[in-house]
Amino acid sequence: MTKTKKILAGTLAAAALAAAAGVSASRCAGFAGTETASRLAEPPAAPAGTEFPVRLGGKTLSLRLALTELERRRGLTGCRGLPENAGMLFAYPDAKRRAFWMRGVPADLSIGFFDAAGMLLETREMQAENAASVFSRSDRVKFALEMRARWFEENGVAPGARLSSADVAAAVESRGFPSEKFAPDEPAE
């Protein structure tokens, strides 16, 4: 089989898997009750496409978690838009400067970068299908939150706002991962 035929066969197989899982090209996989094929590779807990309520700046969000390297690389690829107050929280085991790109994401997004305590440090806007990396200014980033374009500005969520440590910990544990590694530190008294 030629390389082109192998690529075509793989693409068709992936499309068939997505169709079997109920994933529509016009929706963002994992939101509004859809499931993804990635659940087969997850621990025996809530699957990767599960949405969790997480509070931020007086709002309750519906977030998918990206906890594994594969989930973080995949991100919101193919997502044509997000429902109001829905997004993806990328959690890392360590804090450092982070970079994101929009290759394969056909909708503009906003991204917020958070420190280890879950405090919002900065926000940036990202353009659809842009392969150029968007870097955090800070080297203390442990979490990144992707939301629909201009979400942070429109909702008055500014630097200093905090992710709920308890909500993120509960979501992480529901996925079968250790909250000590992937949830924000409790703020100092």
**Mean pLDDT value of segment 83-100:** 96
Strand partners, 91: 143
pLDDT of residue 30: 53
The answer to whether 43 touches 172, Cβ cutoff 8 Å, is no
Query: Could you read off the pLDDT of 2-49 as tens digits, one per residue?
Result: 433 333 333 333 333 333 333 333 346 555 543 333 433 444 478 878
Confidence tier at 187 by pLDDT (50, 70, 90)? low
Burial track 76-89 (b if 16+ CB lie within 10 A, e otherwise): bebbebbeebbbbb
In sequence order, the 6+-apart residues with CB closer than 8 A to the CB of 153 are 110, 123
pLDDT of residue 99: 96
Q: Supply the pTM of this predicted model.
A: 0.77
User: b vs e for 147-171, b when ≥16 Cβ sit within 10 Å of the residue's Cβ?
Assistant: bbbebbeebebeeebbbbbebbbbb
Distance CA 95, CA 22 (A): 36
Residue 9's pLDDT is 36
